[in-house]
Structure 1
Amino acid sequence: MTFPGGAHVSRNVFIHHGHPFFLTILLSFTFLSVMGSACPKSCHCTERNGLTVVQCSSRNLEEIPPDLPHDTVSLLLSYNHITKIPNQAFKNLPWLQELDLSRNAIETVDAGAFQGVSESLRALDLSHNHMRSVPKEAFARLHAKISLSDNPWHCECQLQEVLRELKLDPETVNEVSCHTSAQEEHAGKPVIQVLDSGINFCNFHHKTTDVAMFVTMFGWFAMVIAYVIYYVRHNQEDARRHLEYLKSLPSSSQISKDFDTISTVL
């Protein structure tokens, strides 16, 4: 006999159906089968080649459902209000191949967001969100075709390093544009066009860092010089006052003359 989810139990089991051991096995198979195919109450689930397609689009979700079926092969979460993809959000979905998170309000992608599905995932849609940057580690070892179009990207070294490792969707790659840029003249241009023109944001980043370091060092040097000048002038003033004080004291010869005068009178 075959249970939902593909579990098989021999007919011989039911010959001894009164035995507690076999009843336990039967209940265990039934429980695991139900748990494996349970669908989140806010979503709709269908079957594809023995695995589960979870349809959660346009459900006013603010976060990724935590109770997704273990055998999910396709997860559709577009047109919701999700703002963040937390670490290990899909760690219990080893069969996941398609993930659609387009048209949400995603601003933050944690470094370990796709941990556990990096090998199985084949298509990832993050288009039409609010992302300005993502950590390089978030897409590590990810082989999926990725859509990142229509996000307010800030073009700088980190984004350049992220894109270098990704397999971008060729149909939307020209829609991945610099909303803002470390070099203002590139704002509004497709990222791929900017990078293909030979621009290296990482070199610019290093130059900017060097300039900032030089300015900081110059500032500290100026402060040290100012302190030394103040210290010298302050000591000079103290020395002048001390010298004037010493000059104001009666000399030893004057004291001796005054003493002789007093002796003569006496």
Structure 2
Amino acid sequence: MGASHRLRSSITPSPSFVGTLWLLSVVMTAHACPKICHCTDRNGVVVQCTSRNLENIPANLPKDTVVLLLSSNRIRNIPKETFTDLHRLRELDLSHNVIESVEDGAFQGISESLRTLDLSNNHLSSLPKDTFAKLHARVRLSHNPWHCECSLQEVLRELRLDPETVNEVSCSTSVQEEYVGQPVIQVLDSGINFCNFHHKTTDVAMFVAMFCWFSMVTAYIIYYIKHNQEDSRRHMEYLKSLPSTSRISKDYDTASSVF
């Protein structure tokens, strides 16, 4: 009995040992590196995922990542809260992908820590209004097919664009054709306000819609009047075609005298 108790005691791990294992698992999880990437520890983890043919941002990135390099892949979309657990992230490189959309809240959780964000050489034409809300990072947006209109102007209003590439952020298309091919910042600095143009366009559209509605109502009223006039004319012709009362009375008197 005593020997069996001693055997079970020797097999059962002590609380301190269990605590050590738990701590090690936490540390290993925090530093786990995606298999397709390469990680190095330099006062924080640098995650190198460049040119790995990735279509999505790897999940379960090390929580103490300070640099995340994802350039030259096939990433199309940046989902909401993708980096929310990477509170120490300072540099994020997403250049040379095929990114077409960035969801609102994509950079939530890293807006305070991030210092450099590279979205250059992608397929972006527009962004949600609050994409870069509270972001302090210097941002590269060059070499994207931007559509210059009100929402892009609002996105850029509070953004810190990288000064070295700011003139490479150009209008690929625009609500005003004459600005196609021009740097967005130069257009805005010249005093152009795409939001005013948007409001004018909206006002014109509303005027056209109201005019069309008024024309339809007028056409219906004219049709209704003409239709009623035609019915009245037919009714009058029908009444005229009926025998008059005097003629009927005479015919009746004639018939009475015969009998």
In the TM superposition, what is the alpha-carbon distance from 1:165 to its structure 2 partner? 1.0
Distance in 1, Cα, partners of 2:169 & 2:208 = 35
Q: Secondary structure of the equivalent of 2:139?
A: strand
1:42 maps onto 2:36 in alignment: yes
In the TM superposition, what is the alpha-carbon distance from 1:28 to its structure 2 partner? 0.4
Distance in 1, Cα, partners of 2:18 & 2:235 = 102
Distance in 2, Cα, partners of 1:211 & 1:32 = 61
In the TM superposition, what is the alpha-carbon distance from 1:19 to its structure 2 partner? 5.6
Moved over 4 A (4+): none
The one of 167, 185, 189 aligned to 2:178: 185
Superposition pairs of residues 91-170 of structure 1, within 5 angstroms: 91-170=84-163
Map of 1:10 onto structure 2? none
For residues 116-143 of structure 1, what are the alpha-carbon distances to aligned partners after superposition, in whole Å with 9 as ceiling and x for unaligned?
1111111000000000000111111111
For residues 140-195 of structure 1, what are the alpha-carbon distances to aligned partners after superposition, in whole Å with 9 as ceiling and x for unaligned?
11110000000000001111111111000001001000011111000000111111
Please give the root-mean-square deviation of Cα atoms over the aligned residues, in Å: 1.3
Q: Secondary structure of the equivalent of 2:82?
A: coil
Distance in 1, Cα, partners of 2:38 & 2:155 = 34
Q: Secondary structure of the equivalent of 1:188?
A: coil
The one of 16, 21, 26 aligned to 2:15: 21
In the TM superposition, what is the alpha-carbon distance from 1:250 to its structure 2 partner? 1.2
1:176 maps onto 2:173 in alignment: no
For residues 1-37 of structure 1, what are the alpha-carbon distances to aligned partners after superposition, in whole Å with 9 as ceiling and x for unaligned?
xxxxxxxxxxxxxxxx976211210110111011011
In the TM superposition, what is the alpha-carbon distance from 1:196 to its structure 2 partner? 1.1
For residues 32-60 of structure 1, what are the alpha-carbon distances to aligned partners after superposition, in whole Å with 9 as ceiling and x for unaligned?
011011000110000111x1110000000
1:59 maps onto 2:52 in alignment: yes
Map of 1:85 onto structure 2? 78
Q: Secondary structure of the equivalent of 2:131?
A: helix
Superposition pairs of residues 207-218 of structure 1, within 5 angstroms: 207-218=200-211
In the TM superposition, what is the alpha-carbon distance from 1:256 to its structure 2 partner? 0.5
Q: Secondary structure of the equivalent of 2:191?
A: coil
Give the letter aligned to residue 100 of structure 2: E
* Identity level (%): 67
Map of 2:254 onto structure 1? 261
Q: TM-score, normalised by structure 2?
A: 0.94
Map of 2:4 onto structure 1? none
Give the letter aligned to residue 42 of structure 2: R
Superposition pairs of residues 195-234 of structure 1, within 5 angstroms: 195-234=188-227
Distance in 2, Cα, partners of 1:148 & 1:173 = 8
Distance in 2, Cα, partners of 1:125 & 1:107 = 14
Q: TM-score, normalised by structure 1?
A: 0.92
Give the letter aligned to residue 112 of structure 1: G
